Amino acid sequence: MKTNNSLRVRASRFFSDRYAYRDRPDYLVELVAFGIILVAVTLSLGNVVTTAFR
């Protein structure tokens, strides 16, 4: 299903609506988990690249 809203409208709605959910305490936990996953993937890809050029 294709959305009729542009990316700019969706991004604007995301940033304005995020204050409606301020009482949810798990945002920080989700952000930290995402950061850990991102760092792990980056290090893994870096390891693959460095071993490929040896």
Quick one: tokens of 24? 């949810």
* pTM for the structure as a whole: 0.49
Do residues 19 and 26 lie in contact, with contact meaning Cβ atoms separated by under 8 Å?
no
pLDDT the model gives residue 13: 79
Tens-digit pLDDT profile for residues 6-37: 878 877 877 777 666 666 666 788 889 999 99
Provide the 10 A C-beta neighbour count for residue 44: 10
- For every residue of 1-54, DSSP letters joined together read ----S-HHHHHHHHHHHGGGGTT-TTHHHHHHHHHHHHHHHHHHHHHHHHHHT-
Quick one: tokens of 25? 């305490």
